[in-house]
Amino acid sequence: MATSKVILVTGGTGLVGKAIEKIVQSERRADEKWVFLSSKDGDLCDYNSTKKIFEKHRPSHVIHLAAMVGGLFHNMSHNLDFLRNNLHMNDNVLQISFETGVEKVVSCLSTCIFPDKTQYPIDETMVHNGPPHPSNFGYSYAKRLIDIQNKAYHEQHGCMFTSVVPCNVFGPFDNYNLESSHVVPGLIRKLHDLMEKGGETFTVLGTGKPLRQFIYSLDLARLFLWVLREYNEVEPIILSVDEKSEVSIKELAEEIANAYDFKGKIVFDTSMADGQYKKTASNAKLRKYLPDFEFTAFPAAISESVQWYKENYKNARN
């Protein structure tokens, strides 16, 4: 069958992009051509570079993952960069998708962008109900604007531009750089390096008390394919594990220690920030569409992620 869809994945070399690439290997349809971009293909903060990419690939569909992404500490020290870089990338990708007649764009928000003062569980209707947590206001406002832009393109031009709201994501091909990483890759990298040196004290930042929902990147990738093919609301949809799957940072650290068979001590550096205490999100809207979707069990997902790092740490994004 001739290719009738060209699906352009911006941010295709990142944690989520690599997971989608893996799932597409087995779930690609005959009429689909998939293109996975990295920043080497062009700087999406630049309108002309972005236009050149779209003119080259002429996508019918776009999964827009590219972003300046980072953990709590990187956000706290670079809120302006997170704001500007993501505003530029998002405006270029959405405007050029409109200019070139892309049929559908699926962009990415995050459960960390919701109002800091809110009731729980968070749901899709609450995105703009108040200021985000101060630690990542730059990233949060840039991401919230995607939702506003999607609605504006739909209202004025009828564009099918929508967005998903993942909870915290982890898995193979993550960013393990200790300055900018999220907690899961940060702790995997730290424990890996500690055990290489025969260390016995595993230091976790903060109190370990904050609560998080963690989704395995391969599960998120499967959900992305479903959203691309079947979800046709402009309103965002939360892609998160169930509320009952929420764990504390302490429980996460213990899970990573188990995966490494680490027998030493886990200590908490309470001089470091905790960030948001919780951002518990409801996946009821997703469950309405996919009541039987099964998430990978957290211990197995952590174990697979640790195994990947053990086998690939020399070439990982350290």
Residues that bind ligand GFB (CB under 6 A): 71-73, 75, 110, 112, 135-136, 139, 168, 181-183, 186-187, 190, 204-206, 210, 212, 249, 272-276
Residue written as tokens 């300046």?
A: 68
For residue 167, which of 122, 209, 222, 130 has the smallest C-alpha distance?
Answer: 122
Shortest distance, position 35 Cβ to ligand NAP, whole Å: 13
Which of 133, 222 has the CB closer to ligand GFB? 133
**221's tokens:** 């990738």
Q: Is 16 in the site for ligand NAP (CB under 6 A)?
A: yes
Q: Is 168 in the site for ligand NAP (CB under 6 A)?
A: yes
Residues with catalytic function:
139
Select the binding partner of residue 45 from ligand GFB, ligand NAP, none (C-beta < 5 to 8 A, by kind): ligand NAP
Q: Is 230 exposed, middle or buried (0-12, 13-18, 19+ CB in 10 A)?
A: exposed
Q: Which is nearer to ligand NAP, 2 or 80 (CB)?
A: 80
- Is 15 an interacting residue with respect to ligand NAP (CB under 6 A)? yes
Q: How many CB atoms lie within 10 A of CB 158?
A: 7
Q: Does the protein bind ligand NAP through residue 108 (CB under 6 A)? A: yes
150 binds, among ligand GFB, ligand NAP, none (CB under 5 to 8 A by kind): none
On whether the CB atoms of residues 210 and 275 are closer than 8 A, the answer is yes
Q: By rule CB under 6 A, what count of residues binds ligand NAP?
A: 26
Mark 259-276 as b/e (b = at least 16 C-beta within 10 Å): bbebeeebebeeeeebbb
From the list ligand GFB, ligand NAP, none, which binds 66 (C-beta under 5 to 8 Å, kind-based)? ligand NAP
> Whole-angstrom Cα distance, residue 20 to residue 27?
10
Q: Does 252 bind ligand NAP (CB under 6 A)?
A: no
Choices 60-68, 123-131, 155-163, 248-256 (CB under 6 A): range interacting with ligand NAP:
60-68
Bridge partners for 214 per DSSP:
168
> Between residue 177 and residue 236, which ones bind ligand NAP under the rule CB under 6 A?
182
75 binds, among ligand NAP, ligand GFB, none (CB under 5 to 8 A by kind): ligand GFB
38 binds ligand NAP (CB under 6 A): yes
> Least separation, in Å, of the C-beta of 256 and ligand GFB?
10
**Structure tokens of 113?**
């962008």
Residue 71 contact partner, candidates ligand GFB, ligand NAP, none, CB within 5 to 8 A by sort of partner: ligand GFB
Nearer to ligand NAP, 262 or 302 (CB): 302
Which stretches of the chain bind ligand NAP, using CB under 6 A? 11-17, 38-40, 43-45, 65-69, 89, 108, 110, 166, 168-169, 175, 182
